[in-house]
């Protein structure tokens, strides 16, 4: 019997390990069995099964298998959503209880409560939920006590607060109108540029929560450094975005694919994808550079996938579904659409873009959109989405180990074909 058929037949009868079981490189699991329900034998069998699958399945079949597994994992997000949202009341309580000991700042605390409740909730919670779901995947069930899960929930909300901090300031800089289906915070009557200080309050809350809940934990310093580094990386990305596309000055020569990828890497991928998974890894005691490097490789690609979808939905999405009115054309943004347009445009079409891009005129915005449709960019996007998803499946197959692939598959499947 050929080796591949023998391995495949053996693999059929091997039991799968739960996702929290420690996993090493495929053959490493055979040399040093992992524990599955406390049984090293089943752990070794699981390692053999993984090894069989990698070496015997056709790549397309394996991708299909991974996709199905990822769809199952994505259901976990729905199960955890209610717990995550309910925890927000505890977050607000911890952050506003200063009022009792310091009555002189009572008005500040009332303002903070209003800022939190307007800006931190109403999103999809994908970033924060990822911390909790990844933590459950990485930590053995017997170690998931009430206190550790409370900390995972809190760190998830820290990621959401960082998101809120970025969005409040970004909306001001972009002169955005709506966010998450409501008027942007700075546009509310009586707020205006006071929203800058409100954003700073949101950022400060992150470190108050980490200190309150995680100060005694061995991973506290790693979390502090992770959030600080991620904030810096995101602000670098925002700076790249601002200097590439200043309002009132259109320079199409700056809109290159290389610059676009740099903006996406720093402005979106680090905080949206690497941060929540890395936080869960540190909380699970995984602090090795190799493990983080492998995770980062997958998650940075995922971040680019996400941002390109966002750029497409900014113009072609349904505002009643996305919760915001897109303004990338008016704001002179270095978006994926304009980069793709420039790669395909004739000199005449480029001139049309030059005359209409980056201007807050509805007719000129419509002219740019018509140019994108003329170049069939919606179809270009659909092909990109398929190719990028398949690339992600390949990266997960190659680089997920020793982490459970389900962490990455759930994220990838939530992104695939999303409408908001």
Percent of the chain past pLDDT 70, that is, above it, reads 81
Q: Is the pLDDT of residue 34 over 90?
A: no
Which of the four pLDDT bands, split at 50, 70 and 90, describes residue 365?
very high
Catalytic residue among 171, 311, 328, 331: 311
- Helix ranges (H only) for 265-404 are 275-283, 289-316, 319-322, 336-344, 347-356, 362-374, 377-399
Catalytic residue among 174, 316, 364, 418: 174
Active site residue 364: no
Which of the four pLDDT bands, split at 50, 70 and 90, describes residue 148?
very high
Give the separation between CA 409 and CA 298, rounded to whole angstroms: 10
Active site residue 241: yes
Catalytic residue among 127, 179, 265, 414: 179
Catalytic residue among 67, 113, 124, 350: 124
Catalytic residue among 170, 259, 350, 369: 170
Q: Is the pLDDT of residue 369 over 80?
A: yes
For the residues 329-335, what does the mean pLDDT come to?
93
List of residues 6+ apart from 81 with CB closer than 8 A: 125, 129
Q: Is the pLDDT of residue 137 over 90?
A: yes
Give the separation between CA 330 and CA 334, rounded to whole angstroms: 11
Q: pLDDT at position 12, please?
A: 32
- pLDDT tens per residue across span 161-206: 999 999 999 999 988 889 998 999 999 999 999 999 999 999 999 9
Q: Is the pLDDT of residue 160 over 50?
A: yes
Tell me the angle at which helices 59-96 and 106-119 cross, rounded to the nearest 10 degrees. Answer: 160
Active site residue 165: yes
Which of the four pLDDT bands, split at 50, 70 and 90, describes residue 99?
low
Active site residue 124: yes
**Weakest-pLDDT range from 6-10, 136-140, 342-346, 408-412:** 6-10
Mean per-residue pLDDT over the chain, rounded: 84
Active site residue 267: yes
Give the separation between CA 234 and CA 379, rounded to whole angstroms: 30
For the residues 317-329, what does the mean pLDDT come to?
88
Q: pLDDT at position 322, please?
A: 85
Give the separation between CA 11 and CA 355, rounded to whole angstroms: 62
Which of the four pLDDT bands, split at 50, 70 and 90, describes residue 64?
low
Q: pLDDT at position 42, please?
A: 29
Active site residue 198: no
Active site residue 75: no
Give the separation between CA 128 and CA 152, rounded to whole angstroms: 9
Q: Is the pLDDT of residue 254 over 60?
A: yes
Active site residue 265: no
Helix (H, G, I), strand (E, B) or coil at 360: coil
Q: pLDDT at position 98, please?
A: 63
Tokens of 401: 């180990």
């Amino acid at each position: 019997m050929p080796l591949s058929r023998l391995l495949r037949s053996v693999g059929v009868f091997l039991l799968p390990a739960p996702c929290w079981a420690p996993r090493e490189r495929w053959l490493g699991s055979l040399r040093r069995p992992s524990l599955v329900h406390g049984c090293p034998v089943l752990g070794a069998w699981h390692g053999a099964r993984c090894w069989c699958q990698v070496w015997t399945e056709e790549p397309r079949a394996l991708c299909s298998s991974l996709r199905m597994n990822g769809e199952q994992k994505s259901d976990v997000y729905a199960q955890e959503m209610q717990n995550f949202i309910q925890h927000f009341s505890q977050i607000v309580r911890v952050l506003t209880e200063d009022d009792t000991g310091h009555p002189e700042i009572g008005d500040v605390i009332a303002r903070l409560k209003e800022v939190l409740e307007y800006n931190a909730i109403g999103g999809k919670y994908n970033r924060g939920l990822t911390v909790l779901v990844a933590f459950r995947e990485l930590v053995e069930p017997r170690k998931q006590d009430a206190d550790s899960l409370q900390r995972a929930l809190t760190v998830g909300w820290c990621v959401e607060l960082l998101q809120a901090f970025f969005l409040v300031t970004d909306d001001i800089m972009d002169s955005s109108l709506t966010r998450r289906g409501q008027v942007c915070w700075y546009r509310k009557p009586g707020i205006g540029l006071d929203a800058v200080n409100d954003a700073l309050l949101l950022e400060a809350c992150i470190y108050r929560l980490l200190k309150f809940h995680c100060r005694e934990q061995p991973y506290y310093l790693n979390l502090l450094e992770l959030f600080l580094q991620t904030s810096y990386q995101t602000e670098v990305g925002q700076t790249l975005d601002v200097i590439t596309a200043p309002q009132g000055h259109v320079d199409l020569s700056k809109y290159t694919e290389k610059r676009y990828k740099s903006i996406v890497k720093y402005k979106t991928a680090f905080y949206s994808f690497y941060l929540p998974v890395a936080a869960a890894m540190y909380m699970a005691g995984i602090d090795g550079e190799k493990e983080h490097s492998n995770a980062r490789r997958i998650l940075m690609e995922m971040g680019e996938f996400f941002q390109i979808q966002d750029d497409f939905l900014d113009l072609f999405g349904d505002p009643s579904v996305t919760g915001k009115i897109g303004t990338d054309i008016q704001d002179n943004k270095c978006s994926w659409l304009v980069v793709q347009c420039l790669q395909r445009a004739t000199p005449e079409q480029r001139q049309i873009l030059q005359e209409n891009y980056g201007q807050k005129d509805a007719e000129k915005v419509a002219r740019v959109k018509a140019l994108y449709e003329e170049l069939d960019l919606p179809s270009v996007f659909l092909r990109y989405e398929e190719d990028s998803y398949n690339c992600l499946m390949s990266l997960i197959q190659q680089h997920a180990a020793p982490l459970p692939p389900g962490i990455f598959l759930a994220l990838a499947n939530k992104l695939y074909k999303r409408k908001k």
